Homo-oligomer: A and B are copies of this chain.
Amino acid sequence: MPQEIHTHALANGLTLLAERMPHVRSAAFHILVPAGAAHDPAGKHGLAGLLCDLMTRGAGTRDSRQLSDALDNLGVDRGESTGTLNVQLSGATLARNLLPTLAIYADILLRPHLPEGELDAAKSLSLQDLQSIEDEPQRKVMIELRKRYYPDPLGRDQRGTAEGVMAATIDDVRSHHRTLFHPRDVILAVAGDVDWPALKGEVERLFVDWKPQARPPLAVARPEPKSGHIDKDLDQTQIALAFPSVPIGDPDFYHARGAVGVLSQDMSSRLFTNVREKHGLCYSVYASYETFRDRAAIVGYAGARPELAQETLDRTLEEFRTLVNGIEPDELDRVRVGLKSALIMRQESTSARASAIASDWYFLNRIRPLEEIQAAIDGLTVRGVLDYLRRHPAKGVTVVTLGPGALQVSQK
Contact = CB atoms under 8 A, between A and B. Distances in A.
A68 B234 CA distance: 33
Interface string A115-156: 000101111110011011011111000000000000000000
Interface stretch (A82-90, A173-181, A210-218, A339-347): A339-347
A121 B341 contact: no
Contact of A337 (B74, B337, B342): B74
A282 B72 contact: no
Contacts of A120: 280
A93 interface: yes
A137 to B, nearest CB: 5
Q: Oligomeric state, in number of copies?
A: 2
B94 A26 contact: no
Contacts of A236: 128, 131-132, 135
Contact of A128 (B278, B305, B341, B342): B305
A337 B75 contact: yes
A387 interface: no
A163 interface: no
Contacts of A56: 267
A65 interface: yes
Contact of A334 (B72, B135, B280): B72
9 contacts: A1-B23, A25-B348, A69-B334, A73-B334, A75-B338, A121-B280, A125-B280, A131-B236, A132-B283
A397 interface: no
Nearest to A333: B73
A342 B77 contact: yes
Contacts of A138: 135
A266 B72 contact: yes
Interface in A101-122: 118, 120-122
A12 interface: no
A235 B134 contact: yes
A135 B235 contact: yes
Contacts of A78: 267
Nearest to A22: B23
Contacts of A340: 75
Q: Across the A-B interface, give the 7 residue pairs with the lowest CB-CB distance, nearest first.
A: A75-B341, A124-B280, A23-B23, A121-B280, A128-B283, A68-B268, A72-B334
Contacts of A350: 345, 348
Given A24-B348, A125-B283, A280-B124, A65 B303 contact: no
A282 B120 CA distance: 13
Given A121-B279, A124-B281, A132-B236, 18 more contacts: A26-B341, A26-B344, A68-B266, A68-B268, A68-B273, A72-B334, A77-B338, A77-B341, A93-B341, A94-B341, A120-B280, A121-B277, A121-B278, A123-B280, A125-B276, A135-B137, A135-B234, A348-B348
Nearest to A403: B135
A92 interface: yes
Interface string A353-367: 000000000000000
A72 B268 contact: yes
A348 to B, nearest CB: 5
Nearest to A122: B280
A52 to B, nearest CB: 13
A171 interface: no
Interface in A196-226: none
